[in-house]
Amino acid sequence: MALIRSRLPQAVAAAVLGITAVLTGPGAAPAEAAIGPSFVDNFDAFTTGRWHKADGYSNGSMFNAGWRADHVWFNGGVMGLNLDTTPCPSGCSGKPYASGEYRTNDLYSYGRFEARMKAVKNPGAVTSFFTYTGPSDGQPWDEIDVEILGKNTTQMQVNYFTNGAGGHETVINLGFDAAAGYHNYAFEWWNGGTINWFVDGRLVHQENGSRGPLPTRPQRVMMNLWPGIGVDSWLQPFTYPGTKLTATYDWVKYTKY
C-alpha cells in the first residue's frame, strides 16, 4: 500500500491543541482509573463496567458537535455513533450538531489495539479509533490515532502525540472504500520500541521514534464521530446532508503486551 506523508498546516495544528482542554470536561471520567487487562468486546450491549458514553460537553474548538449519550447505540452486535442536528443547539453544548463518543473507564498500556469498523463518507467529518490520555487523567497528553477523513474514505490518517507534541501525521492509501464495508484497523504499541499500524492484518506503517519520542503513558480506548470547523484545509468544509450520519463498529479488542 502506498504511504503519503502529510503534516497539518500550522493553523490546523494549533486547533488540534484545543483537544486537551476539552477532555477534562464534565463528562470525563475521574483520573483515578485502573490499568486495564486484555479484553474483547463484541458490542452486544453497553457494558458499563468497561465503557462510558461522553455526554453533555464538547471537545476542542475544531469539534463542531456536542457529545450526547443517546447518540451511541447498540443493535445486533454493532455499536453505532450518530451525527445529526437533534436536539441542537440547546441540547448540544451550544454546537449545531450532536454526535457520539465512546470511551473506556480504564487506561490501557502497551499492547495491540484493534477495531472492526465502517466509516462515514462526508467531507468535513472524521470517524476514529484511538487511544488518549491527558489532564483529565492527571497525565500529559499522549495519543495514538486511526482516523478516516470523510473527504476521502479510501485513505486512513495515522498520528501520535507524546507529551502534547504531534506533527507525525501519515496518510495511507487503503485500496478500498472504508465507508463501503467493515475492515479491521489495528495498532501495536511496544514498550520502548515502535508503533505499528495494520489494516486487515497487513502492516501499513511504522513509527520508531525517529520523528519524535513515542507515547509512554497508559491511555483510554476511544471512538468518536465528529464534524470539523475551522479546519477546512485539512478536512474540507462540513455540510450536513439533511439526514443523520452513522459510523458503526462491529467489535473492539485489546491484547496486553
Predicted structure pTM score? 0.91
Q: Flag whether 7 is in a domain.
A: no
Q: Flag whether 23 is in a domain.
A: no
Choose among 66, 147, 47: nearest CA to 105: 47
CATH number assigned to the domain comprising residue 76: 2.60.120.200
Query: 192 has which bridge partners?
Result: none
Whether 223 and 128 have beta carbons less than 8 Å apart is answered as yes
Q: Flag whether 210 is in a domain.
A: yes
Q: Flag whether 18 is in a domain.
A: no
The one catalytic residue among 114, 143, 188, 207: 143
Choose among 60, 96, 51: nearest CA to 252: 51
Q: Is 207 a catalytic residue?
A: no
Q: What is the pLDDT along the chain (257 residues), one digit of tens a residue?
A: 445 544 454 445 544 544 443 454 544 554 457 899 999 999 999 999 999 999 999 998 999 999 999 999 999 999 999 999 999 999 999 999 999 999 999 999 999 999 999 999 999 999 999 999 999 899 999 999 999 999 999 999 999 999 999 999 999 999 999 999 999 999 999 998 999 999 999 999 999 999 999 999 999 999 999 999 999 999 999 999 999 999 999 999 999 99
Q: Flag whether 154 is in a domain.
A: yes
The one catalytic residue among 147, 169, 188, 207: 147
Whether 66 and 98 have beta carbons less than 8 Å apart is answered as yes
Domain that holds residue 121: 39-256
Q: Flag whether 98 is in a domain.
A: yes
Q: Is 169 a catalytic residue?
A: no
The number of distinct structural domains making up the chain is 1
**Unique residue bearing C-alpha cell 464521530:** 225
Q: Flag whether 176 is in a domain.
A: yes
Q: Flag whether 28 is in a domain.
A: no
